[in-house]
Homo-oligomer: A and B are copies of this chain.
């Protein structure tokens, strides 16, 4: 935002001409919003623009482009990597009024949605028609489809249906100069030139502002089988995953390490489905379309796992209440909050073959510096994605960036990913160049410079761009 008060008021006046009174928030309406889901981090921008149509957004960006005005794009503000942080010289553009589900089709299994549609609203609308949008995550009550596209959101069932990228057919976006690029493809097979949607998916709002999308749907499952098992060794855990991969209905393979399970099982919350006597615990879920046969498939898988002696102990559930209770063991983050107080939350991907070595190395690095370190380890093993909650003592928050540096050192040694699903945002930006090669960083810069030469879109996200970068 130009600091000159005259320029600022000119900008606000011109924006109001485009989006009207209802389309512009200023003053305390801006100040009362946080741009982080866990901590109150105020938006420093002088204004939030809320276009009610793609045409309005296009005019807003043409104006910003003419004035060299930088913008930060807001979806549901559920991201944990600081992608929504907005400074005093940045204008916030919120997609919240572009929140219409335009079409749901049970023949083509597609839905056309605007970027501001909240995930749960889409889930509910398609469920009424017997379908499922397979991307699911904890923040579904706030996260928007546009934000999920910009960050290529993952979640619990990536093993079966993939991340957001795999569940999109078309995307429309507004470029920094206001150009509307509509790539609203509805066809499963389409090789007519570059598949432009992939530029916008996962680029964290740095190449364009996602406005609409065509998403893929699948039939809503009619059966759900869940087993909770304990496993004696990492070798057996990998063998169990190998067996589970042959279950065509497999939808989740969620692993909890001993440090996590003992914490949750001892918490007095009644979440202790099996004896806490083994190093690994797994929640295995299957979702299918034929209740009777799906249960048999699942049963035969478990029998096989017993016969091959891959499982020490097991309980199973097929009713909604029991299933929910088993999932609650996996979703014990509030127990970690209670037991650890503050903790550093992590989101890394590591090659399956090296996860145990990686964890040993990480713990050794942490213990050297923080002898009292405590961890709780869990994750989506089939996706290579593990989360480790780390507490290093009373000053855990103050030590966050030091802990992350040790974590990312270990990730680098095992050629892992410093972010599996949360994204780089502003908070991990300094680490990005250490985990992508100079050639890769070069191509990223070239692409960004081609689409947004002045660096107006989410300028502080991923890597610095534009003047003085």
Chain A contacts to B: CB under 8 angstroms? 105-109, 151-152, 154, 158-159, 162-163, 165-166, 175, 179-183, 185-196, 198-199, 201-203, 218-219, 238, 242, 245-249, 288-290, 293, 296-297, 300, 349-353, 380, 382-385, 415-424, 432, 435-437, 439-444, 446-447, 449-451, 462-463
> Which 5 A-B pairs have CB atoms at the shortest separation, nearest pair first?
A198-B198, A450-B450, A189-B420, A190-B417, A187-B349
Interchain CA distance A159-B416 in the complex, whole Å: 31
- A201: which B residues are within 8 A, CB to CB? 195
User: Given that A105-B353, A179-B442, A248-B288 are known contacts, is A192 also in contact with B435, CB under 8 Å in the complex?
Assistant: yes
Cβ of A417 and Cβ of B189 under 8 Å apart? yes
A127: min CB distance to chain B, Å: 15
Is the Cβ of B444 less than 8 Å from the Cβ of A196? yes
Q: Which of B107, B218, B380 contacts A242 (CB 8 A)?
A: B107
Residues of B within 8 A of A421 (CB): 189, 191
Q: CB-CB < 8 A to A450: which residues of B? A: 446-447, 449-450
Find out whether the CB atom of B446 lies under 8 angstroms from the CB atom of A190: no
* Contact, CB under 8 Å: A195 / B198: yes
A190 contacts across to B, CB distance below 8 A: 349, 417, 419-420
Give the CA-CA distance A218 to B435 in the complex, in Å: 28
When the two chains form their complex, are residues A166 and B166 in contact, meaning their CB atoms are under 8 A apart? yes
A-B contact pairs, 9 of them (CB 8 A): A107-B242, A182-B440, A183-B440, A191-B422, A192-B436, A194-B444, A194-B462, A290-B300, A447-B451
Inter-chain CA distance A357–B382, complex, in Å, is 44
A432→B193 CA distance, assembly (Å): 7
Contact A158 B439 (CB under 8 A): no
Residues in B with CB closer than 8 Å to A293 are 293, 296-297, 300
Q: Are A189 and B154 in contact (CB under 8 A)?
A: yes
Query: Which B residues touch A435, using CB under 8 A?
Result: 192
Q: Within 8 Å CB of A202, what residues of B?
A: 191, 194-195
Contact assessment for A108 and B351 in the assembled complex, using a CB-CB cutoff below 8 Å: yes
Cα–Cα distance between A440 and B109 once the two chains are bound (Å): 25
Given contacts A163-B189, A181-B437, A199-B443, 15 further A-B contacts (CB under 8 A): A179-B439, A180-B439, A181-B440, A185-B417, A188-B349, A189-B383, A192-B424, A193-B463, A199-B447, A246-B290, A290-B300, A446-B450, A447-B447, A447-B450, A450-B450
